[in-house]
Chain A
Amino acid sequence: MNQEQNIEEQLWSYIDGHSSSEERSLIDKLLQSNLEWKNKYHELLEIHQLMNAAELEQPSLRFTKNVMEKIAQYSIAPATKNYINKRIIWGIAAFFITLITGFLIYGFAQIDWNAQSDSSLPVDLSQVDFSKIFNNNFVNGFMMVNVLLGLVLLDRILANKRKKYQQQG
């Protein structure tokens, strides 16, 4: 059975024209010398031709009219690439990466690496002064970077729009 399947697979590839030149010459020889291969080839070739000859199904006569009536209610949506700008996506990604990195750096800065290991946590949360989190130079600097990134993004969007209007004009 496996051998038969193997023969069929090779013959289908041969019929479809997907065999390599070496495989083709080997199958050519087998078709001339081996009756089993020859019979199987004719059997599959017949099915192949029948499938090619099979007729297409036809929808109702009103099909095109129905479609045209439906699309009359719609307009073509703008191309996705026009409103999903890769630069904007990268900008948003950069914003969040900066945000996460900033918080990680700040978090690690809070860790007392010299503390005794009697506590399971290296950070004593009771000693973290949360009131200072949003009131020190590091966070202020971090927020400034984010604001700058936001302005760069805005500038890009406006520049793209200007470019588009110039092209249309």
Chain B
Amino acid sequence: MVEVNKEMKEGITAWAKFYKKGMGYFAFAFHRLSGLVILFYLYLHYTVLSNLLRGQATYNAIVKSITYGPYDSFLVLDFLLALVIFYHGANGVRLALNEFGIGMYHHKALFITFEIIAMVLLGLFDYYALQFVGVGF
């Protein structure tokens, strides 16, 4: 392998610089950011689930406090999480198609199309989620 000068290294913050960058770069950077958020949520989810070890009543009390109060403000984070997952999923499908050689000539159009579809689905998800927790329209 080529001997590389470490002075070239910009660090992991290199991908978080958006000035003068194109649409593909935004797709890439937010894909990473959303991936990190999903990873964080996964471990948070495990932590909440681990309360099952403390008994059914304890676990139910925690879930109820998050869903109906006094900590129901966490629901806002749930909607943000849904946004991140829908974005990441749609862009992930686009990347997988591109890597198989599908739609490479139109990858920007594909990105916009997939994200529009994802946001419509997110809207439907949010609507039914709010119905589920009892917020009517």
A-B complex is real: no
Q: B: which residues have CB within 8 A of A?
A: none
Q: A: which residues have CB within 8 A of B?
A: none
